[in-house]
């Protein structure tokens, strides 16, 4: 079990490329950028992040959680945002928890529901 934090699509795609052969599963937590106090501008992200992190910490095995900042509020709200437009990501909402290479995802308020996060990580 490992965690990495990235900012922006370029760094994100590099980390995925470098990591996909090293881990059985790669999970991605997409969220709004953090401010100087370490808090996201996105209120739903603020509520979801600790739930996702806590449940992920219970996982065993060769899995990776990438925490990926998608930008500040204006950048995220821009419909041309690179995370929205990328053919493999097509992100529409934050927070989003997804598993790379699959269609599996939790979005928005589902990311702060501990039971749903446990099911997503196959702990229930």
Q: Is 42 a catalytic residue?
A: yes
Q: Select which of 39, 42, 68, 111 is catalytic.
A: 42
CB 24 within 8 A of CB 63: yes
| 60 phi, psi to nearest 5 deg | -115, 160
| DSSP letter for each residue of the chain | -EEEEEESHHHHHHHHHHHTTT-SEEEEEEEPPB-TTS-BS-HHHHHHHHHHHHHHTT--SSEEEEEEE---HHHHHSTT-HHHH-TTT---SSSEEEETTSS-EEEGGGGG-HHHHHHHTT--
Residues designated as active site: 42, 45
């Amino acid at each position: 079990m490992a965690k990495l934090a990235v900012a922006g699509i370029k760094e994100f795609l590099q980390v995925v490329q470098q990591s996909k052969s090293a881990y059985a599963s790669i999970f991605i937590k997409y969220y709004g950028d953090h401010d100087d106090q370490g808090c996201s501008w996105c209120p739903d992200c603020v509520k979801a992040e600790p739930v996702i992190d806590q449940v992920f910490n219970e996982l065993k095995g060769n899995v990776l959680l990438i925490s990926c900042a998608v930008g500040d509020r204006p950048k995220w709200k821009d419909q041309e945002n690179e995370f929205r437009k990328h053919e493999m990501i097509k992100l529409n909402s934050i927070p989003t928890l997804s598993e790379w290479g699959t269609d599996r995802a939790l979005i928005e308020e589902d990311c702060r529901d501990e039971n749903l996060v446990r099911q997503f990580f196959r702990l229930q």
